[in-house]
Amino acid sequence: MAPKFYVDECVPLGTVTALRKKGVDAVWVGDVSHRGWNDPRHLVYAFENGYTIITENRNDYKLLHQLWTLLLQKNYIDVSHLGILTATKHIRPPSWVTFVQQLISAEETLTSAFFIWDDDTQVWEKF
């Protein structure tokens, strides 16, 4: 099954439009009236609704990923999040589409993964 993406408000809105034009299932936080929500709430919503998150808020989501992973390892929770995609710097919508399509076509497992697009090396780093 192809992944679905929940796009954070810090990502240019054109990214969602461009992803949809390529047939990618993507929803922007504003589409579901979630603008202004805090990051943990976004992550839980994405998990509960089967979405991988796309965000440019790398540092906060890296901490959330680490916390989720720790809780999973310590058996406080028994479910994995569905993935977080972020970048080392601001990415324009056409580039986000290219980068997301690379991950989809590579059939990368997004569950529990934290991917950072490194714009200097032009590769995804998985954490």
pLDDT in tens, 19-66: 999 999 999 999 999 999 999 999 999 999 999 999 999 999 999 999
- pLDDT at position 54 is 96
SS3 75: coil
**Contacts of residue 13, Cβ cutoff 8 Å, sequence gap at least 6:** 28, 30
Given a cut of 80, whether residue 1 has pLDDT beyond it is no
Given a cut of 90, whether residue 18 has pLDDT beyond it is yes
Own/partner pairs for 119-124, CB < 8 Å, 24+ apart?
119/87, 119/88, 119/89, 119/91, 119/95, 120/88, 124/99
**Domain boundary assignment for the chain:** 4-126
Cβ pair 18, 94 in contact under 8 A? yes
- pLDDT at position 120 is 86
- pLDDT at position 62 is 96
Per cent of the chain over pLDDT 90 is: 74
Q: What is the CATH number of domain 4-126?
A: 3.40.50
